[in-house]
Chain A
Amino acid sequence: MLNVIWLLLLATGIIVAALNGNIEVVTGAALDAAQGAVAVCFDLIGVMALWLGIMKIAEKGGLIRAIAWVVRPLMVRLFPTVPPRHPAMGAIILNLSANMLGLGNAATPFGMKAMQELQQLNPDTEQASTAMCTFLALNTSCITLIPATIIGVRLSFGSANPTEIVGPCIFATSLAMIIAVSLDYWLRTYSRWGR
């Protein structure tokens, strides 16, 4: 699936550029993006190190397990393949909480920690487990209670009420989350991908 999407993006881009007679943009775009990707990862190194360092202290003190225990009634339903006391549950909750609060740079490291924990339960280390798919469905559709960046942009262009979009955002994300989680449940239970 990903192979097809990747190839389609790349091939369509190059063919369209060729037909439009501006094939030279391809070279620039490809090289800039390759450099840009490395820059993104370098920006990540510091925050990743900081948060996974803090996470390690929390983990060794038993805090992550304690969090997992508190939220288990909901989590065991969403993640039936993960043992209720598993540290993955704690990491998932931390990631979703950070997402909700709009703390993007803390959310990513927590999310990666969750993925690493889930990977340890994964029978096929090259293929996503059902628990990983559910986690990412939750993660990509997760509510941001304060979309700080966009409120800032609205403010800078002189909006009369920059925060008026918070209500609509909560409505729209809630709907997206319900649909994503339901679809994930359906796919993992009934489709051929679920097996």
Chain B
Amino acid sequence: MFLQVLETVSRWAIPFLLLTVPIYGFVKKVPVYESFVEGAQEGFTTAIKIIPFLVGMMVAISVFRASGAMEYLTQILSPVTNYLGAPAEVLPLAIMRPLSGSGVLGMATELMRVYGPDSLIGRIASTMQGTTDTTFFVLTVYFGAVGIKKFRYAVITGLTADITGFIASVYICNLLFK
């Protein structure tokens, strides 16, 4: 029931915004079309502005991923995850999560294909996917859009959120599904 309501809201949200905002603007005597174009122009410049930031970040992440460094990192961290009750198979997913959205979706899909979506591994993988975020991508894109080069402590809070999300996913899945 709750889920159905949510799904309906998701489906209607965009058409609703596309209808009500221009009507609202028109009623408030805003030149709607000119304003739209003015904003769209900003959107265009912002998207272009991100390119150098994203190239830098994606190249470093991609080299790291392709080199096999991930396997070593998994080996180093495995005692910690064993202690938390996480199956070894989901650890690469946790390491990859902040770095690459498409990479991690591919890995999660592969785990579900091999172990099944209703296995403990499949459930932990699903929960992590829905919980954590591609922190580096978000930081690169958002800071890049306004030309910020010093991120200060934003990396620490973002990664802490990812680690918390990972541990909490493992914990709750062990509790509910084991």
Residues of A within 8 A of B (CB): 1-2, 5-6, 9-10, 12-14, 16-17, 20, 22, 25-26, 28-30, 32-34, 36-38, 40-42, 44-45, 47-63, 98, 101-103, 106, 108-109, 111-112, 115-116, 118-119, 125-128, 132-133, 136-137, 139-142, 144-150, 153-154, 157-169, 171-173, 175-177, 179-180, 183-184, 187-188, 191, 193-194
Contact = CB atoms under 8 A, between A and B. Distances in A.
Contact of B67 (A13, A136, A146, A191): A13
Interface of B: 3, 6-7, 9-10, 13-14, 17-18, 21-22, 24-25, 27-28, 30, 32, 35-44, 46-48, 50-51, 54-69, 72, 105, 108-109, 112-113, 116-118, 122-123, 126-133, 135, 138-139, 141-143, 145-158, 160-162, 164-165, 168-169, 172-173, 176
A169 B112 CA distance: 17
Contact of B130 (A140, A144, A194): A144
A32 B79 CA distance: 34
B68 A127 contact: no
Contacts of A53: 35-40, 43
Nearest to A116: B146
8 contacts: A28-B66, A54-B39, A116-B145, A136-B138, A136-B158, A139-B142, A140-B161, A165-B126
A61 B25 contact: yes
Given A45-B47, A183-B156, A171 B109 contact: no
Nearest to B155: A1
B24 A63 contact: yes
B161 A33 contact: no
Contacts of A63: 21, 24-25
Given A16-B67, A137-B158, A57 B51 contact: no
Contacts of B153: 133, 184, 187-188, 191, 193-194
A165 B108 CA distance: 14
Contacts of A163: 3
Contacts of B61: 9, 33
Contact of A17 (B9, B36, B66, B173): B66
B44 to A, nearest CB: 5
A169 B130 CA distance: 6
Nearest to A33: B62
Given A126-B150, A148-B10, A58 B168 contact: no
B164 A175 contact: yes
Nearest to B22: A57
Given A115-B145, A171-B172, A13 B69 contact: yes
A29 B66 contact: yes
B21 A34 contact: no
